[in-house]
Amino acid sequence: QVQLVESGGGLVQAGGSLRLSCAASGSIFSVPGMGWYRQPPGKERSLVAFISSGDYTYYPDSVKGRFTISRDNAKNTLYLQMNSLKAEDTAWYYCAAGSYGRPSYPMNNWGQGTHITVSP
């Protein structure tokens, strides 16, 4: 498994934007699926964005149209562009990788997370 390290978290006002990065210690070119998950305070972790090696993407309705996931294989980095942020987006955000190119399959490789706080 490659190591995944998130960065880019911080404090932002509602309506603002933030970009998260997930740096991998090895190639992500052939990783079938990668995604971003979040865990708000007092709630369970849930998927917010998924991308396959073929650039198929998935977003839940809560972030669709606001968040964009992308990958740069040359830089071995996964990104999450977050726009029009809301207070409800406040959470720990985690980068993850898995062996399947569909979001219905579980991930088996996780980063340590980065925290996002969106102030009203």
Mean pLDDT for each consecutive 10-residue tract of the chain (120 residues)?
A: 95 98 96 98 96 97 98 97 98 97 96 97
Tokens of 70: 């992308």
Residue 1: predicted pLDDT: 80
pLDDT in tens, 46-70: 999 999 999 999 999 999 999 999 9
The values of phi and psi at residue 100, to 5°, are -130, 150
Tokens of 25: 């210690």
- Considering the chain, what percentage of its residues have pLDDT values greater than 90? 98
> From CA 78, how far away is CA 53, in angstroms rounded?
11
